[in-house]
Amino acid sequence: MPYSRNNDVTRRRALVIAPVAAGGLAALFWRTEEPSAASAPLVTVVEFDDKGVKQGAVQRRRVLRSERAWRSALTTQQYWVTRRGTTDTPFTGTFYQQHAAGLYRCVCCGNAVFSSNTKFDSNTGWPSYWAPLATENIFTQTDTSYGMTRTEVLCRLCDAHLGHVFDDGPPPTRLRYCINESALRFVAGASV
């Protein structure tokens, strides 16, 4: 085939595009591949049964799933809140105005995170608590999204985004754990 400027451009494109395409396919495979549960780190959480009876501290493997598995296990709203860190629209759920006795579990992994005993009406439109059910069951980290500095609250067992904690709550802690309803599953009747 005789040399042509068009052939040279096409070869250059192929040489540039091929590695990028291969990297993209590798990244896609990596993001959807199911992580190995056996390699997950151990974390300590306090377990509670559905009646709210404390079972004690145990070591469990962190819950690891692929993005595909999380998407299939959760509703669209639950996925975006817990796995992508978005926020429920205030006053749209039912938990913010719920007063029934029970406990609240992480919607992703079932870890017991909050109790109706520490729930209060914050007039913010989100379920609010002055303390977690067990401090071992959550962790916090600095969140600088949206041009603000806040303290993000996450599930210790699966790293789900639960909400944020603020220092404008009632006694005895003066904290307000402002939690997304989409991150919670309510278990009625628990006495914790």
| Catalytic residue annotation | 178
Instruction: Identify whether the C-beta of residue 192 lies closer than 8 Å to the C-beta of residue 114.
Output: no
Give the rounded percent of residues in the chain with a pLDDT score beyond 70: 79
The reply to whether 84 and 131 lie within a common domain is yes
pLDDT at 192: 62
User: Cα separations (Å) of 168 from 25, 113, 157, 165?
Assistant: 47, 20, 27, 9
pLDDT at 20: 44
CB-based contacts of 67, cutoff 8 Å, min separation 6: 31, 32, 83
The band of 189, judged by pLDDT with boundaries at 50, 70 and 90, is confident
pLDDT digits (tens, 9 = 90+) for 20-76: 445 544 444 444 455 566 788 999 999 999 888 999 999 999 999 999 999 999 999
Domain carrying residue 110: 37-188
Number of folded domains that form the chain: 2
Length of the chain in residues, anyone? 192
Are residues 130 and 171 both part of a single domain? yes
